[in-house]
Structure 1
Amino acid sequence: MDVAIYWSDVVDDLNARDHSGTPILADQAGPTRTARAGALAMLAVHDAFFGIQGQPTYLSSVPPAVALASPQFAGGVACAQVLSVLYPKQRAFIEERLASAPRGTGNPNTAATYGEAIAEALIALRQGDAAFDERSPTRPSHVASPAYGHHRPDPMSPGQGFLNAFWGEMPFFATPAPVFLAPPPGLDAATGVLTPTDPVYAAHHEEIYLLGGSPTSSETTRESEESLIGVFWAYDGSQKLGTPPRIYNRIIKTISTQKGLTEAENVKLLALANVAMADAGIHAWFYKFHYDLWRPVLGVREHEPFFGPSADPGAARLPFSDVFWKPLGAPKTNELTTTGFTPNFPAYPSGHATFGASVLHITRLYLASIGKATIYPDGSDDVGFDFISEEFDGVNREVDGSVRPRHVRRFASLLQAIVENSVSRVYLGVHWRFDGTTGGYDSDGPGGEGPSATFNPDPDSVVVPRDSIGGVPLGLDIAEAIFNNGLKPSTASLAKGVPPPPATPYKAEPLGCRRRDKKDKKK
């Protein structure tokens, strides 16, 4: 029994259980807290497993190696102790899993003592993180801006509040320095003024208006395949499913099985992957509340500046506006009383895109380093895989109670998965395409506009500009920074603000979108 796979499964189960029930347990609710919990748990396995053998660890100081003690049991005890601190409401479940965990051979008492020391050191290292959680009594309530283009609660969920407004100020786990993210297209970072006629913003606005709307809208041109993709990647804190780190961890374990990774390789990979997600959450949430860009549900309804709290009655009319527009919305899987919703934090960058790019890229970087993958000069790779999302596993349910069918989705590469994961949020109508990437699917649409969110099943069609715009480039840069620097603690943070741009200037190309007219829709 592989210790890394076993405890990663426990972490995933805790994520799902933490988001289930009425009310939910909510020890670590939300994707950022879930990602942090996963990082601490898998680092505990990593440092106890390798430290007890005298091999390199994440922590700079660990107890000396112990001969004839089980690395598997040391890793399990360390992980269980960390998880018991993070998920106190689920302590009994964690203890049950520890009782069935891989024990290896050797003195269990010595291994347990070693694991406990690792857990205590990790918890002490990150004990200051609590100050950046909005549940901390030292944090004031976040106040929304009424200005045009800025984030406010979903008008269909007006009491939803704001998740993790201060999270982005905490120290990174392993990124050696802050990663730069350019402002979203059309937003003047110095003044906070959004120009809706900016060519990139305008093109992506038209796209979300057409692809992300409710099925009841006569303007919505989204295909059924695109609706499926939107739900396939969702994991929006749903009952029995939890948050996005769960699906990404499950993808990694699917690939690990396919590649035949050893136990030690899985310990290393899952630690890298979960640390990348933790730092992706810190970066993404800093920039979300720094740039404070509105979600499409407001951006479409209040596109014309004479709507909204800062309405200008003399403003010019703009196309693709609808004060009654509703998105398809993030699915409330396994809940029978609610429909789709828009998440409770600003749009830019997409958390899904940042998490997915960071974790899937660091996975292929690691696989390439051990000779089990190839990353080509154009950014593509040869890590193909089949995957069943729990959103479509033949068990979980729509809001009307019907069971969604089982669906096996095939990917030719991890790059294809990175792009599809990002663009999936456009199909739900909860993100602009540039929240993830200005790329997407290469198309030969009218005028040859360039990349689009319109789905193209050809795996060679995916386009990922490294232009510092959106969560995909941000996640790729985070993964490379961690992998190249090595798995070691960082003292860097974004608390002092946006870092300077890289030496090579980014360029926001006015990439268009292809409007799929009604007559072009598949029959």
Structure 2
Amino acid sequence: MTEVNRRTALGLGAAFVGGSFAFANGNPGEAATPSPGSAADSAVLFWHEVALKMNVFDHSFTGAEAGTLPRAPGPVASARALGVIHAVIADALFTVNPKSMFKPHFLKGTAPGNVEKDLYVGGAAAAIMSYIYDTGGHASEIKNSENEFIRRFRGPDPDRNKRSWEAGRLFGNSKEFQGLWNGDKIRRSIHPTEVMEYQPREGDHQPDPYHCGQGYYGQIYARDIDPIIISRQDVETNFLPPEPPAKDTKEWQMSLDQVRTLGRLYLKPGSGTDQPDYQPDQLEVGFFWAYDGARFLGTPPRLYNQIIREIAIADGMSEEELARLLALCNLAMSDAGNVAWHAKYHWRYPRPVIGIREAGVDDGWMPLGSPKTNVRLPRAGAAITDAGAPVEVTVQDVYLGAGINASLSGAGIGPRALVDCEANPDLNYVLGAFTPNFPAYPSGHATFGAAAFEVLRHVRGERTANPNELPMIENEHIWHVSDELNGASIDNLSSSARNFVPRQFETIDLLIEANNKSRELIGVHWDFDSTEGAKAGKSVADTIYRDAYKAA
């Protein structure tokens, strides 16, 4: 059985935009040494990386294309796309091998005889990606990947190669898989301004006062889009986080004081927002986990996949084990999105930028904010009314951030805000940071991350006596590098490259805790958003691990 090759995985990551790396056997930045006997390439890893590339590519458009071309923008749509793609990869692999360790979950049966396994899996993966990502730009990227894959994985018999690829494409195009992705319905359900069902009342979540036209992402997603594995009862009742703390309670006051201090945008004395004074934890924890739909980075599920993949490789998982793990983790994140977004619009809880103002304790408080990484700012000190200032509208702006044109003109494109908009906000801040445009409770990051990492804990528990421990490679913990802090990504407020900041996590619990804390450190969440989101995510993980991809 094929064992995933660490060097191959690192090479694949380097080949794609925004590829992230994890290092072992030495200092951060040194090449990793492959474990003995792991020399084979992996079809599963190849298409896993293409799926993550689609996540990046889909969030890197600018201009008019930013609002029209993306196929799976934002956290819930991108998580759904990754869940469907990895389910197809796993089902194809388990179907083509009659002696597989695991049962396919969605499409049972056997593949045609005498086919090349890798080409069959690759054809299936390419087919479902082409169905999800169907614009010209996406099609070109997928076709390039197909050509590279066939060149690398083809067998000696051309007829068998063609038959294997076409059989795989037929499998990936099955109605069972296509039925999991209703692209038009998904995109309408998440678009911030096409649906206007959510109307904020006093005390509810409402637009960030620095980005009044941002609208509301995912208002009807959980209502209109069924989860893939868990039930609607799980979404609406069983896994629904409890009512968040009432305002003016002791718990709420403690949380307010905490985020007000930890998540504030600190500036160097006498400077504008072109000179942020980042606190160490804000930089190393807050930014590490951000991935807020930024150009060349994508969404949080991509980062969680990057980390999980490296741990699985270090564990020496076989290709079948890795396919199952990635399918389970991504299905868990997809369904966790349903749970989180149902709860968000059920509880309608405001973000700190609104709650702190409503409390009357700090009217001028600005959160560090979700970073618009890799978007260059206009010259320092440019006035908000400066028509000559360059404005780059991105997917982040359209789906998650400013509704930038409306913010610049001072005219909101959504319902009137109950908290007054900033009359003359700093242009660097408006263009460089934002509070996400959906209710705070529970945290999407926390729900997605806990779902994925709890699945990882379950799967590792099958292999080790202590599944909470992360793998050791020659007595060195793995280093993880976030594309937010890879030494190349452009800072959202200073337009300079951020430092290279690798991080280590010795346990799965510490991964979850850091991911949870990160959202408070950039000032976009209360601490209870993450605590309860993580609990819900773990419940999703437990159910999906129990019900999907069972041993053969």
Aligned to 1:461: none
| Alpha-carbon distance between aligned partners in 2 of 1:286 and 1:485, rounded to the nearest angstrom | 22
Alignment of 1:244-323 (within 5 A): 244-304=300-360, 321-323=361-363
**Taking structure 1 as the reference length, what is the TM-score of the superposition?**
0.76
Task: Please tell me whether residue 486 in structure 1 is matched to residue 539 in structure 2.
Answer: no
- Name the SS for the 2:433 alignment partner: coil
Aligned to 1:83: 129
| Alpha-carbon distance between aligned partners in 2 of 1:482 and 1:104, rounded to the nearest angstrom | 34
Q: Identical aligned pairs, as a percentage?
A: 30
Deviations 1:65-91 (A, max 9, x none): 333312221111111111112112210
Q: Measured at CA, do residues 132 and 418 of structure 1 come closer, stay the same or move farther in structure 2, by a change above 3 Å?
A: same
Q: Measured at CA, do residues 227 and 392 of structure 1 come closer, stay the same or move farther in structure 2, by a change above 3 Å?
A: closer
Note if contact 1:133-1:166 (Cα within 8 Å) is conserved in structure 2. no
CA RMSD of aligned residues (A): 2.4
Q: Tell me by how many angstroms 1:262 deviates.
A: 1.3
Q: Tell me by how many angstroms 1:327 deviates.
A: 0.3
Aligned to 1:182: 241
Aligned to 1:108: 161
Aligned to 2:215: 161
Note if contact 1:132-1:166 (Cα within 8 Å) is conserved in structure 2. no
Task: Please tell me whether residue 67 in structure 1 is matched to residue 113 in structure 2.
Answer: yes
Note if contact 1:385-1:413 (Cα within 8 Å) is conserved in structure 2. no
242-251 vs 255-264, greater mean Cα deviation:
255-264
Unaligned runs of 5+ in 1: 187-194, 305-320, 438-469, 489-523
| Alpha-carbon distance between aligned partners in 2 of 1:433 and 1:357, rounded to the nearest angstrom | 15
Q: Measured at CA, do residues 246 and 61 of structure 1 come closer, stay the same or move farther in structure 2, by a change above 3 Å?
A: closer
Q: Tell me by how many angstroms 1:103 deviates.
A: 2.9
| Alpha-carbon distance between aligned partners in 1 of 2:523 and 2:369, rounded to the nearest angstrom | 6
**Match for residue 73 of structure 2 among 6, 29, 43:** 29
Q: Tell me by how many angstroms 1:113 deviates.
A: 3.2
**Match for residue 501 of structure 2 among 404, 407, 412:** 407
Q: Measured at CA, do residues 257 and 301 of structure 1 come closer, stay the same or move farther in structure 2, by a change above 3 Å?
A: same
Deviations 1:431-479 (A, max 9, x none): 0010011xxxxxxxxxxxxxxxxxxxxxxxxxxxxxxxx1111111111
Note if contact 1:41-1:83 (Cα within 8 Å) is conserved in structure 2. yes
Aligned to 2:285: 229
Aligned to 2:417: none
Q: Tell me by how many angstroms 1:110 deviates.
A: 3.0
Alignment of 1:106-505 (within 5 A): 107-121=160-174, 122-128=176-182, 130-134=184-188, 140-148=195-203, 150-169=204-223, 170-176=225-231, 178=234, 179-186=238-245, 195-216=246-267, 223-304=279-360, 321-337=361-377, 338-369=431-462, 371-372=463-464, 374-375=466-467, 380-383=468-471, 385-399=478-492, 400-437=494-531, 470-487=532-549
| Alpha-carbon distance between aligned partners in 2 of 1:131 and 1:211, rounded to the nearest angstrom | 38
Q: Which amino acid aligns with 2:81?
A: A
**Taking structure 2 as the reference length, what is the TM-score of the superposition?**
0.72
Unaligned runs of 5+ in 2: 1-40, 270-275, 378-430, 472-476
Note if contact 1:259-1:372 (Cα within 8 Å) is conserved in structure 2. no
| Alpha-carbon distance between aligned partners in 2 of 1:124 and 1:248, rounded to the nearest angstrom | 25
User: Higher RCO, 1 or 2 (CA under 8 Å, sep at least 6)?
Assistant: 2
- Name the SS for the 1:407 alignment partner: coil
| Alpha-carbon distance between aligned partners in 2 of 1:58 and 1:257, rounded to the nearest angstrom | 22
Aligned to 1:465: none
Q: Measured at CA, do residues 165 and 111 of structure 1 come closer, stay the same or move farther in structure 2, by a change above 3 Å?
A: same
Structure with greater proportional helix content: 2
| Alpha-carbon distance between aligned partners in 2 of 1:114 and 1:59, rounded to the nearest angstrom | 19
Aligned to 1:46: 90
